[in-house]
């Protein structure tokens, strides 16, 4: 699994942390809902107790009583019945009509102190009043309001043709409006008139005029709503009940008074939260939606209708009920409480409905809680984004390192350039530098191996030629003495080849041996004095001089390796110094370390060969020397210098040459 995928999994797991916050919000919301239901039920019970005495006075229990539907907007009187669709209808069959004439349909409603009446008369031959005609008969409606003291207010309503109605009651002149409109089934009459607060009964009679022949007319009184002698009682809300209900309706609430069969009588709407603005921030909207889904799917379900199982017209089964409702699936939920209104004897007379609309998830409305939720999600998002960015950066660095390593080799698997190490100090930076160092050493080893064969061939060619030629001459020799001489030459060449192979084997083990040495802190001056005394006789007939500080010089190095390097340099200097010449063993302080050197008089080194002196099999000694020189002495000096973090140097001086090792400070 890649590093990026691992960090993605970690980031996904981090998103489980907000589940605790969400669970807390869910539990808080459930608790708030239950507490709101309890408080709402108690408030509704209190309002019902206050309204109960006035309600019993206003609402009779007689089945003959007429309910005036309370409407929240005025009806447009235009001769059409569209505005009456939601108002229940009645017919004269409900009254004591003894004729065979089709029943007259009517509807009643009230809004404030106005009464609305719709009549559908099953008569296509309406006789309208003719202005100026004396003794004429015409259809008219007698509408009578009855008061408890026995007084009546009568309205005689007629029309002079389809359109606006007329009335002969001067008391309501200009306050009674209506339209008489012909329809395909007869005619339709819409009325609106003042409804005095004391009116407790209503009667509506239709004076129907029919013409049986040209000169013969008949007049029939048809009861529509009761009769003048036996009116129908009205059920509507008094001013006292309206005022009291308005004073008891809390803000942000809607209070309704319903009959026992759930018909609306009065509504006071103070639902100021109906168009409650919500935050337009996408983040808050998203959190709100998530909480709504989680709370509604696990807690108290928000319904969209009345819990009918708890609402009954039976007095014994009618109990208070409180529930949540969310009509239309909006962002605002309503808590509703239905409380039964009963008489002292326990008879159900109606229902009190109290509705309060509130933010659907009340916990989110708490800004402190919302800040916690937002803060957690923001923090998690930033952490995950940072992890993904960090993973991408690490992946880029690893890919770059891999590509650099691959590109450092050409298709023939030869090193074509050095690896560019990272400058960063973290683990990947260390890995990059380690790879760079490893590739650098491998490149050096590869270069060494590429030149090894040619150098080996060159070094072995001469002794091998000596062996071959000596053996051939020995076969052709005429005397034993001559044959022994040729065999001695062949033996000398074979020993030379043997020494060459032995030196090569030792050279291959040299670097590993050097790496096993341990560094220690010691006095370099004391070590140099010991070496000076030991080499003074070895370099004869040359002279050995010293040039190092007399005070203590503490170095952190391997004294054995430094002594071995000095030994190689002394041996090299003795071979190139003329008899009586001077060899100097010195130690000088430099800016960032020490220079340990051997300087000798003698021939200088060609400038074009200085850089190659520290490579294997490079030697400036004359080929006629009897001792085998493979050019490995300066290689040892170079390895010792690199082991100590320094460098091996070679330079020409005024009277000779200088070889040395630069050692860094501890």
Q: What is the pLDDT of residues 522-565, one digit of tens each?
A: 999 899 988 888 888 888 889 999 998 888 889 999 888 898 88
The reply to whether 24 falls in a domain is: yes
Question: Once rounded to an integer, what is the mean pLDDT over residues 435-447?
Answer: 77
231 and 350: one domain?
no
Domain contains 488: yes
Task: Label residue 238 exposed, middle or buried (CB < 10 Å: 0-12, 13-18, 19+).
Answer: middle
Mean pLDDT, rounded, for 166-186:
79
Domain identity same for 630 and 594: yes
- Which residues, 6+ apart, have CB-to-CB distance to 379 below 8 Å? none
379 falls within a domain: no
Does one domain contain both 489 and 535? Answer: no
Same domain, 595 and 484: no
Is 236 in contact with 265 (CB distance < 8 Å)?
Answer: yes
Whether 535 is in a domain gets the answer yes
Q: Is residue 16 part of a domain?
A: yes
Asked whether 209 and 222 are in contact (CB, 8 A), the reply is no
179, 208, 235 — which closes off a domain?
Answer: 235
Distance CA 466, CA 493 (A): 6
Structural domains counted in the chain: 4
Q: Is residue 224 part of a domain?
A: yes
Q: Among 54-63, 255-264, 402-411, where is mean pLDDT lowest?
A: 54-63
Q: What is the pLDDT of residues 568-627, one digit of tens each?
A: 899 889 888 998 999 999 999 998 899 999 999 999 988 888 877 777 656 555 544 444
| Residue 575 DSSP symbol | H
Cis peptide before 541 (omega within 30 of 0): yes
- My answer on whether 441 and 502 are in the same domain is yes
Count of beta carbons in the 10 Å neighbourhood of residue 639:
20
Residue 18 token pair: 């907000």
In angstroms, what CA-CA distances link 506 with 459, 503, 511, 514, 632? 16, 5, 10, 12, 10
pLDDT value of position 478: 83
Mean per-residue pLDDT for 12-38? 76
- Where does residue 311 rank: exposed (0-12), middle (13-18), buried (19+ CB within 10 A)? middle
Give CA–CA dist 8/289, Å, rounded. 26
CB 404 within 8 A of CB 389: no
Residue with the bigger pLDDT between 606 and 93: it is: 606
Predicted confidence (pLDDT) per residue in 367-400, tens digit = 566 677 777 778 778 877 887 788 788 888 888 8
Percent of the chain scoring above 70 in pLDDT? 79
65 CB burial (10 A radius; 0-12, 13-18, 19+):
middle
**pLDDT value, residue 490:** 85
- Contacts (Cβ under 8 Å, ≥6 apart) of 190: 75, 77, 78, 79, 116, 117, 118, 178, 179, 181
Do 476 and 450 belong to one domain? yes
CB burial of 478-515 (b: ≥16 within 10 Å; e: otherwise) equals eeeeeeeebeebbeebeebbeebeebbeebeeeeeebe
Residue 360 DSSP code: S
- Specify the higher pLDDT residue, 55 or 298: 55
Question: Tokens representing 128?
Answer: 């309208």
pLDDT of residue 363: 47
Residues 461 and 575 in one domain: no
pLDDT exceeds cutoff 90 at 661: yes
CATH number at residue 471: 1.10.287.130
In this predicted structure, what is the pLDDT of residue 501?
76
pLDDT band at 297 (very low <50, low <70, confident <90, very high): low
Q: How many CB atoms lie within 10 A of CB 312?
A: 14
Answer whether residue 126 is part of any domain: yes
**Rounded to a whole number, what is the largest CA-CA distance in the chain?**
188
446 domain-assigned: yes
Instruction: Give residue 484's pLDDT band: very low, low, confident or very high (50, 70, 90).
Output: confident
pLDDT digits (tens, 9 = 90+) for 339-364: 998 888 888 888 899 998 776 545 44
The CATH number assigned to the domain holding 554 equals 3.30.565.10
For residues 191 and 114, membership in a common domain is answered with: yes
3-class SS shares of the chain: helix, strand, coil, % to 5 = 40, 25, 35
Question: Same domain, yes or no, for 362 and 449?
Answer: no
21 has pLDDT over 80: no
Domain extent, residue 582, equals 520-664
Instruction: Give the pLDDT band (50/70/90) at residue 20.
Output: confident
130, two tokens: 């003719």
Confidence of residue 96 (pLDDT cuts 50, 70, 90): very low
Report the candidate in 565, 577, 568 with the shortest Cα–Cα distance to residue 540.
Answer: 577
Q: Has residue 418 got a pLDDT over 90? A: no
């Amino acid at each position: 699994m890649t590093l990026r995928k691992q960090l993605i999994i970690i980031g996904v797991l981090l998103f489980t942390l907000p589940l605790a916050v969400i669970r807390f919000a869910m539990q808080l919301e459930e608790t708030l809902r239950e507490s709101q239901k309890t408080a709402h039920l108690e408030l509704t019970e209190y309002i019902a107790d206050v309204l109960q005495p006035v309600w019993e006075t206003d609402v009779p229990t007689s089945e003959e009583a007429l309910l005036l539907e309370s409407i929240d907007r005025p009806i447009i009187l235009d001769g059409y019945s569209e505005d009456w669709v939601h108002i229940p209808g009645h017919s004269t069959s409900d009254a004591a009509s003894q004729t065979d004439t089709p029943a007259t349909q009517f509807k009643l409603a009230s809004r404030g102190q106005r009464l609305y009446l719709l009549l559908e008369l099953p008569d296509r031959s309406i006789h309208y009043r003719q202005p100026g005609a004396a003794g004429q008969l015409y259809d008219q409606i007698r509408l009578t309001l009855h008061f408890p003291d026995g007084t009546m207010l009568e309205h005689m309503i007629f029309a002079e043709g389809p359109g606006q109605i007329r009335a002969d009651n001067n008391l309501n002149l200009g306050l009674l409006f209506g339209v008489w409109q012909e329809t395909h089934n007869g005619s339709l009459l819409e009325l609106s008139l003042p409804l005095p607060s004391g009116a407790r009964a209503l009667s509506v009679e239709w004076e129907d005029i029919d013409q049986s022949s040209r000169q013969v007319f008949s007049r029939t009184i048809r009861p529509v709503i009761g009769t003048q002698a036996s009116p129908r009682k009205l059920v509507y809300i008094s001013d006292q009940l309206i005022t009291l209900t308005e004073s008891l309706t809390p803000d942000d609430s809607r209070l309704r008074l319903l009959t026992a069969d759930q018909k609306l009588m009065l509504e006071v709407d103070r639902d100021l939260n109906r168009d409650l603005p919500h935050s337009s921030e996408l983040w808050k909207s998203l959190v709100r939606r998530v909480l709504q889904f989680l709370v509604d799917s696990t807690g108290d379900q928000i319904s969209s209708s009345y819990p009918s199982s708890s609402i009954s017209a039976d007095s014994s089964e009618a109990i208070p009920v409180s529930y949540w409702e969310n009509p239309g699936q909006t962002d605002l939920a309503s808590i509703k409480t239905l409380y039964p209104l009963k008489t002292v004897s326990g008879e159900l007379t109606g229902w009190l409905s109290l509705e309060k609309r509130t933010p659907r998830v009340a916990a989110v409305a708490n800004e402190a809680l919302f800040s916690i939720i937002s803060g957690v999600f923001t923090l998690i998002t930033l952490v995950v984004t940072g992890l993904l960015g960090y993973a991408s950066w690490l992946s880029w660095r690893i890919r770059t390192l891999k590509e650099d390593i691959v590109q450092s080799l050409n298709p023939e698997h030869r090193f074509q350039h050095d690896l560019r190490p990272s400058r960063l100090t973290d683990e990947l930076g260390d890995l990059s530098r380690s790879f760079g160092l490893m590739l650098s050493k491998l490149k050096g080893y590869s270069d060494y191996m590429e030149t090894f064969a040619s150098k080996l061939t060159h070094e072995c060619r001469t002794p091998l030629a000596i062996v071959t030629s000596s053996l051939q001459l020995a076969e052709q020799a005429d005397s034993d003495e001559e044959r022994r001489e040729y065999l001695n030459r062949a033996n000398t060449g074979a020993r030379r080849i043997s020494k060459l192979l032995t030196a090569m084997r030792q050279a291959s083990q040299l670097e590993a041996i050097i790496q096993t040495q341990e560094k220690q802190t010691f006095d370099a001056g004391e070590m140099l004095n010991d070496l000076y005394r030991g080499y003074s006789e070895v370099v004869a007939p040359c002279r050995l001089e010293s040039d190092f500080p007399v005070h203590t010089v503490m170095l952190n190095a391997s004294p054995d390796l430094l002594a071995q390097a000095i030994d190689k340099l002394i041996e090299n200097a003795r071979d190139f110094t003329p008899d009586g010449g001077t060899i100097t063993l010195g130690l000088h302080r430099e800016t960032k370390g020490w220079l340990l050197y051997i300087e000798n008089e003698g021939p200088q080194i060609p400038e074009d060969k200085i850089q190659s002196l520290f490579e294997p099999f490079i030697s400036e000694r004359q080929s006629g020397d009897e001792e085998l020189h493979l050019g490995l002495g300066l290689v040892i000096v170079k390895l010792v210098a690199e082991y100590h973090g320094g460098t091996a140097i070679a330079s020409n001086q005024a009277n000779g040459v200088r070889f040395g090792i630069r050692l860094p400070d501890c």
